[in-house]
Chains A and B, each alone.
Chain A
Amino acid sequence: MKKSHASFDKDHALHQLKHYLPTQAPLKDFIHHNTLHAFQEKFFHTGLAEAAQIFGYKVYLSLEEYQTLYAGGKIKDEVLDKILETQENDGPKITKDQLLSARSEDTLIPRIGRLRSTWKSQFRIDLDSLVHPTLFRIIGSYLDQGVAIWNFPHNDEGLLSSMRELEKNSLTSFFRTNKVRSLLVSGEFTTESLLQTIVGDETLFEQYLMDQQCAHPGWSGIVAVIDDNPGALTDARKISLDEFIQLELLMEIDALDDHFGSIWAPLATRMPERPTPLFADVVPSETQRLQRLWQDAYEWTFYNNVLSGIKVSRVETEKSTRSFQSIFCIDDRECSLRRYVEEEDPNCGTYGTAGFFGVEFYYQPEHGKFYTKVCPAPVTPKYLIRELESSKSRKKDFHFGKHTHGLVLGWIITHTLGFWSIVKLFLSVFKPAKSESSVSSFNHMDEFSTLTIENTNGEMSPEGLQIGYTLTEMTDRLENLLRSIGLIDHFAPLIYAVGHGSSSVNNTHYAGYDCGACSGRPGSVNARVICHIGNHPVVRNMLRERGIDIPTTTQFVGALHDTSRDEISFYDVDVLQEKNRMLHAENEVHFNNALTNNARERSRRFMSINTRKSAWKVHREVKQRTVSLFEPRPELNHATNTLCIVGRRSLTENLFLDRRSFLNSYDSTTDPEGKYLLGILNAVAPVCGGINLEYYFSRTDNQQLGAGTKLPHNVMGLIGVANGTDGDLRTGLPSQMIEVHDPLRLLVIVEHDPAVVLKTMKINPATFEWFENEWVKICAIHPLTKELSLYKKGTFEPLIYLGETPPVAEDIEAIIGKEHENIPVYLLKTV
């Protein structure tokens, strides 16, 4: 019986798979993204309903959790009433009683996997347990980046070709039966022919592949990522998702042959009933409708709290001269540091912008064999900046060396250095200190090295990257940066550009701790580069012609803030003029005090530290955490992030936002058309939205969308982590990173005329999708009238409901000292 050829389209199937599989890069390039990006083209709640019913993900908190939040006042009664009033008309009206009394359903069976479960239910064979261990072992070894000492004998043709070579020249086999082995060696098969053997019904092929690959999304996902971007691996391996699927299909046939003998009927012959097609329409369940309302109420309880605080902010009319100005990263971890810096020196001005400071390039440290991208992930830079004259040396640690795994050398090592291990073990527990195994953000670049920032002779790298920037390119970038944050006059004598990075040890997800705007690297090089540009006399002249006059007495200083240690390092201070040098010395004290206070504020989340000790002691303990092997939480990263405020500092300077906000400086008065706003929104949506949603989904379903607890994690081939030694790769964030996070969508607040915001956000369809489908909420606050309006279904509507104005915190330090949970918004000074 021949079926129509049109019913299975392999390219479509592969495309679908790549769309729905996790797109997490290897560990070294860990970058936050929306875990459910595949559903982003749908309206948020609709997409979530689909994700839940098709893939079985938990996409909201459970009803019981919401009810507990409600009982604890974390979801306000009046907000809930309001949400109930305005609920959508997509079914019977939900009452408050229902919300308060409903219980979770306990038997939601997702669509994924149903077709393939026929093997178990009808054929009584557990294919997964027969295939997975060997499959994972093969793919893990093939992709391994440097754990194994004896590598998979691979060739440049790909996975199957390498395996063919192996099988041909070996006395043993990965397969159980000779038949499949010969089939692999002969190469006479296609994905379709294998599926025909196993499934037998062409209309089910695609669904079968979805079931099969989503049974191990980690490995399939990384294969798909490498397929699309071979450069993701340092030690290159050619592989395609298609051949990975073929291998799995071959192994399935092998297992079936071995179990049933060479004759067995394909899956379709014994299917009790045709399974629901995976992507058939989804009707939200009763529970999901309730969760939607709860989620909205949960979010609005917080949003109201913030908006009512923003609303009473100062109307900025006049700019004043500042003692110094400091540009930080937009990162939510800088939110509190800026507050403390301003507290130390109320006369200073702080700004926020994406932490690559508008200079996009690849960076090559001295002796580095590779280039590292240090700008947002979607950007492909055309520039290379090299580090020269570095004097940093790297120490070795024999514990990671391959000799310990040898037989004879291992014998010698266990007898000698083995006893050094117990000493190190003892010290690492009782006297933790920086070691070769730890990651330090300050190692990204040697502070005394020189960088090839300026290109005078058109020099190019062998790959065709321009080494450094020309003067015009430099001026463009500096102008762009200054205009986007609204810093075009009233320059202080010193302007700091503070990048950030993070130090930790025993942390497989270290790249996720660094600056997201620098592709998961510390922002130190970028900070140095932008300051070099800012200090360049020719650039200054050119900039002056473009209308920005930076006085010669003003100088830029680059710095790096270590967010886990709360330390700062300043770069190239020797170029400072005498007077500025003295000013800098004063500022350095301010920065250090601010960092200590910041460390103290962070410590309220760390149970092992008593926040009420002296700030200095607390800071020391905070630093200690970052070098302690036994500390799974050197910092809490972006946990609790919920806000992104795009506007002048006057909007937020009087607010206590509890480190929950990304802050991007923007002055609408200097950009009435929204020209620079576009660039900001283009970065905010994917970067901040991506971070926020990854935290959101890792929190609601830490088992499937997150990586589970990190304590049992085992490093697989340096590209990922798994539990134990024979499991699937775990994607998403470990539970230690998200446990204090409240899953709330990001609320972007833009200080501009709503009409301009609307026009601007629609320009880039990719950016607009985030807002239009409400994966990120956006609100506009009018710079003059302070009127708030919310984007909903195509327009900005004035916000009707607002909560009470937040209370004024008499002593915010005292609140920080005793509160472990989230702190609501407070006004810092009486307005």
Chain B
Amino acid sequence: MEWYINLFIVLPFVGFFLSLLIPRKQEVWLSRLSFTTVGLQLFSALYFSILWLLKGAHVINLKEFSIFKAKDYDFYIDFYFDGITLTYLIIGALLTFIITVYSQYYLHREEGYKRFFNVILLFYLGYNIIIFSGNIETLFIGWEVLGLSSFLLIAFYRDRYLPVKNAVKVFSIYRIGDVGVIMAMWLSHHLWHENISFFKLNNYELVHEHLAEHSMLGFTIAFMFFISAAAKSAQFPFSSWLPRAMEGPTPSSAIFYGSLSVHIGAFLLMRTYPFWEQQTSFRVFVVLIGVVTAVIATMSARVQSTVKSQIAYSSIAQIGLIFIEIACGLQEVALVHVAGNAFLRTYQLLVSPSVVSYKIREQFYNFVPRKETIEDSWPKRVEYTFYMLSLKEWNLDSFMYRNMWNPLKKLGSRWAFLTFKNVYYFFALTFFAGLVLAMNPDFVPLRLKPFLPLLFGLIGLLMVIKAFTERMSVRLSWSLIIMNHLCIALAISFNKHFDISHHIWYLSGVIVCGAIGYLCVQRLRNQGEWVSLDRFYGHVYEHPRIALVFLLACLGVSGFPITPTFIGEDLIFSHIEENQILLAFLIAMSLIINGLASIRIYARIFLGPHVKTYHETAKRSS
């Protein structure tokens, strides 16, 4: 029976893979394939769940295979099944099934019919990997897949400005969540001295024993989980991305942002609950954030004048409550709440266009001018302040800009002297010097030793910041991204357990994908296309194939689970010592920005309004 679990991963994967092979115009095949995939999944999910319940509902832990193994390091795939998985499995299978059937008709004749079902199936794959994951590593694979599919779905209407802009924005928040997981992985490794499975976390004594010794480390790990969960579930202070994600076709918004995707944060919290259950301070923290989110989001929902953003904020508020329930240990309540909220919001989003006729009819018969609301009883100054804050979404959107992206931009612009022509000299020099030092550790004065990794980590970070903020040259930006990886590798080389094979794992994907990406850009230029980073160029309109290859290259260089770099990143972290928090931070920052920089290049060259105006193009504001 345990064997069945594989099916839930294999089915969506096969469906997704086959859907890539079907020609673009074959609507019928595409919809039949999607229908079969999600239909079979739903059927097996129901069957399996009943069987599981009948057989006593014992937790299943299924260790699959190791992808990479070294001394006290084992990157293995692990699957897990319990009540939480069951609930998420049923919710996911039901909703995806219904939405798929719905979309078969709804998307008829739409330009991206194939793309839509590709992405839905990819999303579904990622979702299932996450909910079945038995350890953080497996979960992280799904986490990345989910992030990518979200990006692709928000930017579904890739020839318009706002969807692309918002997709990049959401991706940047997701990226923060990703790094939360990476950091948690790194810290857990130091806490447990192994790649722990969720199953083991159920061992109360084991957890208790480890936490007693490292209470601070325990809190930090939990906090990292929380950052990831909060980012994915649009909790404070990340809430403002959710309404902005409603750019795709309505059913996709309904399933992604109304239900499945936003509740994944809650899933992560539930899954890791045994780990932080004993940390009262952390539980209080989660409750606090939940309360803040619930209040802020409810007020924001009340002032929204667009249907979808209103539903988005109401959903965020309920998820805030779910977080509280989880932190209070009311897991069953939380699960019911998740299901109810997911179903309700999905349906509300699906019928959202009907709001016009329904409410206008309502109003026609029941209109009362100036309806009093509860807020009218507040003092004016309080009322207006809260109204304006709510309308401005509590400055959460500008908060990310002011405190995260703008300082980065400023920092990047300081490096204006770097050009495509001289960057290689600069880099070669630095890198060579670093390499010499790394090969001959004896040269390095002992007191300087701890600083070398930091130095190169910092250089790497600065490079990728420059890559992220470069406004013109694609080649410069792209090269800097690759150099960033090399710098990170170099920085790690100074650490004790230097192992060249680990570097090969890490860099192989980067180098190959870097070269591929470079060739893509070159090919575009050879075809007489102008490429630069100063605006969106929308070249996907004429060069969809190059765009696809380049996207894969971007994923490769940013450590998406399609190349060994994915494992490599984790390996690199395993070499960072417990006391090198700063180095870990630098590298984590590098990885965040690295992913952003590469997806930004992709977006700027290939997405957005096409630079050529011989066909219809939408206004930037639409």
Residues of A within 8 A of B (CB): 27-28, 56, 58, 62, 104-109, 128-129, 132-134, 137-138, 140-141, 143-153, 165-166, 169-174, 215-218, 234-236, 365, 367-370, 394, 397, 399-400, 404-407, 410-411, 413-419, 421-422, 424-426, 428-430, 436-439, 505-508, 510, 607-608, 628-632, 701-704, 708-718, 722-728, 730, 736, 739
Contact with A along B249-262 (1 / 0, CB 8 A): 11101000000000
Q: Say yes or no: is B350 at the interface (Cβ < 8 Å to chain A).
A: yes
Select one of A107, A147, A170, A236 contacting B384, CB under 8 A. A170
Chain A residues near B622 (CB, 8 Å)?
A: 218, 703, 708, 722-723, 727-728, 730
Question: Which residue of chain B has the shortest Cβ distance to A412 in the bound complex?
Answer: B340
Q: Are B247 and A407 in contact (CB under 8 A)?
A: no
Q: Shortest beta-carbon distance, B103 to chain A, in Å?
A: 7
* CB under 8 Å from chain A, chain B span 462-497: none
What separation, in Å, do the CA atoms of A416 and B109 have in the docked complex?
A: 37
Q: Say yes or no: is B358 at the interface (Cβ < 8 Å to chain A).
A: yes
What separation, in Å, do the CA atoms of A217 and B621 have in the docked complex?
A: 9
Residues of B within 8 A of A (CB): 94-95, 98, 101-111, 156-157, 160, 162-163, 165-166, 243-244, 246-251, 253, 294-295, 298-299, 301-314, 317-318, 321, 336-337, 339-344, 346-348, 350-367, 369, 371, 373, 375, 380-381, 383-385, 387-392, 397, 612-622
What separation, in Å, do the CA atoms of A711 and B103 have in the docked complex?
A: 10
Q: Are A704 and B298 in contact (CB under 8 A)?
A: no
Known interface pairs A153-B384, A506-B353, A715-B306; A425-B343 also in contact (CB < 8 Å)? yes
> Chain A at the B interface: mostly helix, strand, loop or mixed?
loop
Known: A151-B371, A166-B384, A422-B347. 6 other contacts (CB 8 A): A147-B355, A368-B365, A411-B337, A418-B343, A712-B247, A714-B306
Select one of B156, B251, B303, B348 contacting A148, CB under 8 A. B303
What separation, in Å, do the CA atoms of A655 and B149 have in the docked complex?
A: 53
Q: Are B612 and A107 in contact (CB under 8 A)?
A: yes
Select one of B299, B311, B340, B613 contacting A415, CB under 8 A. B340
Q: Are B354 and A419 in contact (CB under 8 A)?
A: no
What separation, in Å, do the CA atoms of A144 and B618 have in the docked complex?
A: 25
Q: Shortest beta-carbon distance, A409 to chain B, in Å?
A: 10
Known interface pairs A437-B351, A608-B108; A106-B301 also in contact (CB < 8 Å)? no
What separation, in Å, do the CA atoms of A407 and B316 have in the docked complex?
A: 10
Known interface pairs A414-B341, A422-B343, A505-B354; A405-B310 also in contact (CB < 8 Å)? yes
Q: Are B387 and A418 in contact (CB under 8 A)?
A: no
Q: Are B343 and A718 in contact (CB under 8 A)?
A: no
Known interface pairs A147-B355, A418-B344; A369-B618 also in contact (CB < 8 Å)? no
Known interface pairs A235-B367, A400-B358; A148-B613 also in contact (CB < 8 Å)? no
Select one of A146, A171, A608 contacting B105, CB under 8 A. A608
Q: Are A725 and B388 in contact (CB under 8 A)?
A: no
Please name 9 pairs of A and B residues whose Cβ atoms are closer than 8 Å in the assembled complex, sorted by A.
Answer: A128-B620, A215-B621, A369-B363, A400-B351, A607-B108, A608-B105, A629-B351, A632-B108, A709-B249
Chain B residues near A56 (CB, 8 Å)?
A: 613
Q: Are A172 and B367 in contact (CB under 8 A)?
A: no
Q: Are B347 and A424 in contact (CB under 8 A)?
A: yes
Q: Are B358 and A437 in contact (CB under 8 A)?
A: yes
Q: Are B388 and A714 in contact (CB under 8 A)?
A: no
- Identify which of B102, B357, B380 gathers the most chain A CB atoms within 10 Å of its CB: B357
Select one of A137, A150, A216, A399 contacting B375, CB under 8 A. A150
What separation, in Å, do the CA atoms of A424 and B98 have in the docked complex?
A: 11
Question: Which residue of chain B has the shortest Cβ distance to A148 in the bound complex?
Answer: B305
- Identify which of A153, A397, A723 gathers the most chain B CB atoms within 10 Å of its CB: A723
Q: Are A630 and B621 in contact (CB under 8 A)?
A: no
Q: Are A722 and B306 in contact (CB under 8 A)?
A: yes
Chain B residues near A701 (CB, 8 Å)?
A: 616
- Identify which of A236, A428, A710, A727 gathers the most chain B CB atoms within 10 Å of its CB: A727
Chain A residues near B367 (CB, 8 Å)?
A: 234-235, 369-370
What separation, in Å, do the CA atoms of A108 and B613 have in the docked complex?
A: 6
Q: Are B365 and A369 in contact (CB under 8 A)?
A: yes
Select one of A216, A367, A416, A718 contacting B621, CB under 8 A. A216
Q: Are B295 and A407 in contact (CB under 8 A)?
A: yes
What separation, in Å, do the CA atoms of A149 and B318 have in the docked complex?
A: 17
Q: Are A106 and B341 in contact (CB under 8 A)?
A: no
Q: Are B617 and A715 in contact (CB under 8 A)?
A: no
Q: Shortest beta-carbon distance, B230 to chain A, in Å?
A: 18
> Which 6 residue pairs of A and B lie closest in terms of their CB atoms, listed nearest first?
A418-B340, A414-B340, A437-B354, A104-B614, A144-B305, A711-B249
What separation, in Å, do the CA atoms of A422 and B95 have in the docked complex?
A: 8
Q: Are A630 and B614 in contact (CB under 8 A)?
A: no
Chain A residues near B98 (CB, 8 Å)?
A: 425-426, 429
What separation, in Å, do the CA atoms of A424 and B95 have in the docked complex?
A: 12
What separation, in Å, do the CA atoms of A722 and B157 have in the docked complex?
A: 13
Chain A residues near B350 (CB, 8 Å)?
A: 425, 428, 506, 629
Q: Are A106 and B351 in contact (CB under 8 A)?
A: no
Q: Shortest beta-carbon distance, B614 to chain A, in Å?
A: 4
Chain B residues near A394 (CB, 8 Å)?
A: 361-362, 365
Q: Are A630 and B366 in contact (CB under 8 A)?
A: no
What separation, in Å, do the CA atoms of A140 and B108 have in the docked complex?
A: 31
What separation, in Å, do the CA atoms of A419 and B343 have in the docked complex?
A: 7
Chain B residues near A629 (CB, 8 Å)?
A: 102, 350-351, 354
Q: Are B360 and A718 in contact (CB under 8 A)?
A: yes
Q: Are A404 and B344 in contact (CB under 8 A)?
A: yes
Q: Are A215 and B162 in contact (CB under 8 A)?
A: no
Q: Shortest beta-carbon distance, B368 to chain A, in Å?
A: 9
Q: Are B337 and A724 in contact (CB under 8 A)?
A: no
Known interface pairs A414-B344, A506-B353, A717-B306; A151-B373 also in contact (CB < 8 Å)? yes
Q: Shortest beta-carbon distance, B584 to chain A, in Å?
A: 34
Q: Shortest beta-carbon distance, A262 to chain B, in Å?
A: 19
Q: Shortest beta-carbon distance, A740 to chain B, in Å?
A: 10
Chain A residues near B317 (CB, 8 Å)?
A: 407, 410
What separation, in Å, do the CA atoms of A405 and B303 have in the docked complex?
A: 11
Q: Are A506 and B617 in contact (CB under 8 A)?
A: no
What separation, in Å, do the CA atoms of A701 and B622 have in the docked complex?
A: 14
Select one of B157, B303, B312, B613 contacting A109, CB under 8 A. B613
Q: Are A712 and B344 in contact (CB under 8 A)?
A: no
Chain A residues near B339 (CB, 8 Å)?
A: 418-419
What separation, in Å, do the CA atoms of A723 and B615 have in the docked complex?
A: 20
Chain B residues near A218 (CB, 8 Å)?
A: 621-622
Q: Are A631 and B351 in contact (CB under 8 A)?
A: no
Question: Which residue of chain B has the shortest Cβ distance to A133 in the bound complex?
Answer: B397
Chain A residues near B165 (CB, 8 Å)?
A: 129
Question: Which residue of chain A has the shortest Cβ distance to B617 in the bound complex?
Answer: A703
Known interface pairs A150-B373, A510-B356; A703-B618 also in contact (CB < 8 Å)? yes
Chain B residues near A405 (CB, 8 Å)?
A: 298, 301-302, 310-311, 313-314
Chain B residues near A437 (CB, 8 Å)?
A: 351, 354, 357-358
What separation, in Å, do the CA atoms of A725 and B593 have in the docked complex?
A: 26
Chain A residues near B304 (CB, 8 Å)?
A: 147-148
Q: Shortest beta-carbon distance, A617 to chain B, in Å?
A: 18
Known interface pairs A149-B373, A166-B387; A397-B358 also in contact (CB < 8 Å)? yes
Question: Which residue of chain B has the shortest Cβ distance to A715 in the bound complex?
Answer: B307
What separation, in Å, do the CA atoms of A730 and B353 have in the docked complex?
A: 14
Q: Shortest beta-carbon distance, B143 to chain A, in Å?
A: 25
Q: Shortest beta-carbon distance, B532 to chain A, in Å?
A: 14
Question: Which residue of chain B has the shortest Cβ distance to A369 in the bound complex?
Answer: B367
Q: Are A724 and B246 in contact (CB under 8 A)?
A: yes
Q: Shortest beta-carbon distance, A339 to chain B, in Å?
A: 28
Q: Are B103 and A410 in contact (CB under 8 A)?
A: no
Chain A residues near B340 (CB, 8 Å)?
A: 413-416, 418-419
Q: Shortest beta-carbon distance, B90 to chain A, in Å?
A: 10
Chain A residues near B311 (CB, 8 Å)?
A: 405
Question: Which residue of chain A has the shortest Cβ distance to B111 in the bound complex?
Answer: A709
Chain A residues near B617 (CB, 8 Å)?
A: 703-704
Select one of A144, A413, A718 contacting B356, CB under 8 A. A718
What separation, in Å, do the CA atoms of A235 and B359 have in the docked complex?
A: 12
Q: Are B302 and A421 in contact (CB under 8 A)?
A: no
Q: Are B621 and A128 in contact (CB under 8 A)?
A: yes
Select one of B111, B243, B251, B363 contacting A725, CB under 8 A. B243
